[in-house]
Amino acid sequence: MTTVLIAIDESDFAENAFKWYVANFHKSDSRLILLHVIENLGITDMSPARYIECQKEARQKADSLKQRYTTMSSELGVESDIQIKTADKPEHAIVDTADKEKVAYIVTGSRGMGLIRRTILGSTSDYIVHHAHCPVLICKRQ
């Protein structure tokens, strides 16, 4: 059985990558993991009450995202294991999960940042490509 990990978030880029994978690569005997990572917030300039409120909002958004992808998976006729994790850096959690689950490859969307912006801000997909121990499919928006 081939295990595939798709990194998901609330963006259209992630949804596009998921739908593209299902239409072009998915096989009925594949195990599909959809992974959303809630990024830990720094508490530096935030009151404890605000921090708790932000974490609660992030969890609610993650639960809503899980429901959305559960519905999409069902509509597209694929079974998926939707996982929600929390980490300081989502890209690290994606690579770590891929290693632990022994995935055959990772699928992720791309926001299409230019070189300068990607260099300054960093890129989740760029990190995954350089640190994953398996092939990575980056799905650009069509």
Give the per-residue pLDDT at 108: 93
Give the per-residue pLDDT at 122: 52
Give the per-residue pLDDT at 9: 93
pLDDT bracket for residue 116 (50, 70, 90): very low
List of domains in the chain: 3-139 (3.40.50.620)
- Both tokens assigned to 47: 């009151």
Tell me what the mean pLDDT of segment 115-142 comes to: 77
**pTM score, whole prediction:** 0.89
- Both tokens assigned to 24: 């072009």
